[in-house]
Amino acid sequence: MTGFQPGQMLATGMIGSYVYGPNNETIGDVNDFVLDRDGKIAAAVIGVGGFLGVGERNVAVPFAQIRMQERDGRSTLTLNATKDQLQQAPAFDRSRRG
């Protein structure tokens, strides 16, 4: 691979990116990824709630549910969930290993 293909972006470009819901509202931001044993992204860890990172909590969303879309000439991440739905989802515990 010598460069990007259409519909690709670097993980470093995704971390910190806003995630948009079905009504194009910001529902959270990507804080991390969970990789499976094969090295594939299993889930995105999304920060929801809070203000400027204070009071924010993380939820893990299966990566297959996230879509990349073009928005104003750049790739953005979308999820078919509302901010309220993410805020009600179980918190992701980084210290807990399955």
Residues 54-83 pLDDT 10s: 788 999 999 999 998 877 777 789 999 999
First to last CA, the chain: 34
Of the chain, the percentage scoring pLDDT greater than 70 comes to 93
Residue 14 has pLDDT above 90, yes or no: no
Which CATH architecture is the domain 12-88 placed in? Answer: Roll (2.30)
What does the alpha-carbon distance between residue 20 and residue 82 come to, in Å, rounded to a whole number? 9
Whether pTM exceeds 0.95: no
User: Can you give the residue ranges of every domain in the chain?
Assistant: 12-88
What does the alpha-carbon distance between residue 71 and residue 73 come to, in Å, rounded to a whole number? 5
